[in-house]
Chains A and B, each alone.
Chain A
């Protein structure tokens, strides 16, 4: 629920306690009131919601997930390929030579 989106931190204003974040070329400011002082750094990926930074995105976990998905993709592709070969070998329409 709630429209919260990933963005990248490009600037931090410690005096006003806000960060400038970039979402695919669109930049806005967001409040740091919900984050511990000093925990957000330039270059961090964060989750934005109604003008505030809610949390930092754990890059390692994100990359791990994406990696796992690629592995699943490859594994399934490999299985499909093997199945295709099997199907082809067993193809009833194949002329016996």
Chain B
């Protein structure tokens, strides 16, 4: 007989006394550990939790966070934003995307700028909202600019599923879905060339919460196995993150490199099989996808399978979409920040020329980007 209340699921994992308890336990383990360790939280939501709840203020000095590139808005390269910009400017197009995406600067400006100039750009809360827009505008082409990691990909697939089943003719997709394990692998592999000290090594990963709900924790198996890097899949609340750090420190002190699940209430090794099947049905991997600030990451992007090319905006609008490579702003060091080589405050334009209201680089755009999080919450740290 369950006595669990909805409030418990929020408050119980934000309990100040429990947070303080883990602070004590972590302090003990860190003391035994002695050496400095770098923990990378892959996911932007974790960066947000750490910054918002001031968790770095609670941790001992030998524990250091490296902020990972897990923010699908932040890693959107200028080239893809330019695609969205060009598409939005077509007179018969309504461009739809999720929240923060409209603020990311491309070479001509952001989608927000395009909207101010008259383009029909709308942000939606759910991909399914596209159905209503399509119904109300039968003479327009509704293009859904799809972004996000494994968490969000199945929702785009579900939309396409409905579009096909109902025979809707005016909804199209521009796919920018990316996957997490490949970029984690790239972060480790590419470090050997760039790094010549222990300062930038990644000692452990905090595994993304909701990517893992969909894909299961199985996708991280190779990190402890092949690289001896522990992975603890953590939830989003501050207690979750503190418990995960404690679990990691125990691993270090016990000489283990294991894949552990802290977020037991939602993550299993297998994940959501139905969601995975939907993704598999409609999408396949592209061999290269450019991540802003990181360059091309192999096998990390998705595209619609060829049999669904009729719904693929990239195919339909091939003639007008630009494919030149574009450099990021010269002073922007988002690349280094996304790979964990630098912290936002080390950027020469952080907080001055580059702020949330006028971002130069992607890390400042989304509220989960490391720079935006530091700007908003980080001055006291």
Contacts and interface: CB of A to CB of B under 8 A. Distances in A.
- Touching in the complex, A and B, CB below 8 A? yes
5 closest A-B pairs by CB: A51-B126, A1-B45, A1-B43, A33-B158, A62-B265
B71 A1 contact: yes
A73 interface: yes
Interface in A30-59: 31, 33-36, 45, 47, 49-52, 54-55, 57-59
A86 interface: no
Interface stretch (B88-96, B146-154, B251-259): B146-154
Given A69-B239, A72-B18, A24 B7 contact: yes
Interface string A10-45: 000000000000111000000101111000000001
Contact of A31 (B6, B128, B265): B128
B4 A62 contact: yes
Interface of B: 2-4, 6-10, 12-13, 15, 17-18, 21-22, 24-25, 43-46, 70-72, 98, 125-129, 148-149, 151-152, 154-155, 158, 161-162, 208-211, 213-214, 236, 239, 264-266, 272, 274-275, 278, 368
Contacts of B236: 4
A40 B21 CA distance: 35
A95 interface: no
Given A8-B6, A35-B274, A59-B4, 8 more contacts: A1-B210, A1-B368, A33-B162, A50-B155, A51-B126, A59-B2, A72-B18, A72-B21
A89 interface: no
B210 A34 contact: no
A6 B213 contact: no
Given A34-B275, A45-B9, A50 B98 contact: yes
A10 B160 CA distance: 27
Contact of B274 (A2, A36, A50, A64): A36
Nearest to A39: B274
Interface centre among A1, A65, A66, A72, by most chain B C-beta atoms within 10 angstroms, is: A1
Contact of B151 (A2, A35, A61, A63): A2
A34 B24 CA distance: 40
A49 B151 contact: yes
A66 B266 contact: no
A76 interface: yes
